[in-house]
Structure 1
């Protein structure tokens, strides 16, 4: 699928008001414990649902799915995935990559087909994109239908050292994370799968497996984690919880210091609780 086609479809959806994006959103920086955080303050998240949000009876969804795709479709990626515009965008553009099978679940780990679909989009874009996956309720997912997300690379995050060729040192994050830099050149599907499985195994070992996972009793459930990937690197972060309260919650990008909030009051609550200590509680403490 051509990049120009993908972007033109998203732009039409955003201009029509179907894909909600706050043109006046702000990035507010905050230093805590030697770590630099960025709060993305955007009204587009004001009505974003969570796992407890009931479905609208007017939503048209695939069998087994809790994500409405009708009107947001951009196109099929391979035989097993669908690319759509995110309805609640805190980046422009902001995509969801869903499994075509609405019964695949967000608490499952990624498989080779998922990774292949992600890579096909990352390698299509001429600009720098980032993909991420919130595995399980404790990993910050808001819907159960298995899906990944893609956005243009945000500004400096905790992961920026992976792009720096040694110019920036690894930050002293308070939680366990596992990462891999890809060698220059083509990355095979087998290599992507091997890297992800290795990082997930390390995360599962320190994360204690499924003992406290909200989805532990469900078939196919993986250790709650976040996966973040670019064409140059992959990170896996084991998770213990997604939120302290309604205001203070983190997905994959939140664990890299890029935190999207709907209101200034939510940001103030994050700052009051202390974002560095909060991420330590959300992840597995070092």
Structure 2
């Protein structure tokens, strides 16, 4: 990759933005759960071999009150925005967005981390569960969140993942049914823990694969990620998106396919989605489908427990059978 990001420096900038009130971040209470209410899934379309699923679905709930100010849908807005004091020499319009078609607030100059290939901006995510989180938004502010990813999106995504030394996963919520909250086309990046760390793992990385109550499509890179290019990612993505369209029983010419994308340096996943709202809060996005649920308050965790976490994911995706 052509550039590398200094995560220590990014964390320092993040802390200053939080202190100034430009980023919303607070401590999380972490709760781990397991749910074994569904039969083993043996009918997945996988582009690489997988082992039988015999373990319960695992969940990590993070209860973070700072998320209470996060917009819930594209028409929502963030209340009580006030000018920032994070840079005494810089004044900016707190209502300004990343372009005429954008609904993502620009924030102070420090929000912008890097511009990738002139097509995407890597910025700080204003509403954070982790320290820090990032967004990768299209420079064309009229691009929309109901579009499939294209070559430029995947090239910039791969570049951003490799610019961060520590492991991160990138995810994309395509359409409101997949849990998007903004209309300006964007991907998000969040840190994750490596296998054998003792902390919560993303289920494709688990040595003993858990039950997965929904259909997903997966391509592993088998340690050959250095040979992966944007064009190769696009070819794999189109294959998985075709299968997602079939799983949703959509016509072959359907332009908009509700789905989640998750990309790491080790694998690439697409999850077809039926809906994001299944009667619990928060709405289910790509992270939620991985078992990482970011709540605003304890009551939301109780809603998930009452409904059944695995049942939530089954209803949000296409049920596995």
Structure 2 length as normaliser, TM-score?
Answer: 0.79
How far residue 85 of structure 1 moved from its aligned partner, in angstroms, is 0.8
Shift of 1:44: 1.8
Look up the match of 2:65.
43
Higher mean displacement: 241-250 or 45-54: 241-250
Paired residue secondary structure (1:46): helix
User: Which residue does the alignment assign to 1:163?
Assistant: 205
**Deviates most, 237-246 or 174-183:** 237-246
The answer as to 2:118 corresponding to 1:66 is no
Which deviates the most, 237-246 or 78-87?
237-246
1:206 aligned partner: 247
SS at match of 2:163: coil
Deviations 1:52-100 (A, max 9, x none): 3147795101111111123122221221111111111011110011001
In 2, the alpha carbon distance for the partners of 1:255 and 1:199 equals: 17
User: Could you say what secondary structure the match of 1:70 adopts?
Assistant: coil
1:28 paired with 2:16, answer no
Residue of structure 2 equivalent to 1:227 = 261
What is aligned with 2:220?
181
- Residue in 1 that maps onto 2:49: none
Q: 1:231-279 deviations in whole A, cap 9, x for unaligned?
A: 0101110000001246242110100111000000111111111111111
Question: How many residues are treated as equivalent by the alignment?
Answer: 272
- Tell me, yes or no, if the aligned pair for 1:29 and 1:38 is still in contact at 8 Å: yes
- With normalisation by structure 1, the TM-score equals 0.88
Aligned partners of 2:114 and 2:12: how far apart in 1? Answer: 12
Give the whole-Å Cα distance in 1 for the aligned partners of 2:76 and 2:247.
32
Report the equivalent of 1:250: 284
Q: What is aligned with 2:121?
A: 82
Deviation of the 1:174 alpha carbon: 1.0
* Equivalence for 2:88: none
Structure 2 unmatched runs, 5+ = 37-55, 82-93, 194-198
Match of 2:154 in 1: 115
Q: How far has the Cα of 1:196 moved from its partner?
A: 1.3
Calculate the aligned-residue CA RMSD, in Å: 2.1
The separation in 1 between residues aligned to 2:219 and 2:171, in whole angstroms, is 15
Shift of 1:121: 1.3
Cα deviation code 1:153-176 (max 9, x no counterpart) = 1543452xx335xxx233221110
1:9 CA displacement: 3.4
Which residue number in structure 2 is paired with residue 267 of structure 1? 301
What does residue 93 of structure 1 align with? 132
Deviations 1:188-213 (A, max 9, x none): 222111111111111111012379xx
Higher-Rg member (1/2): 2
CA contact (8 A) 2:69 2:78 kept: no
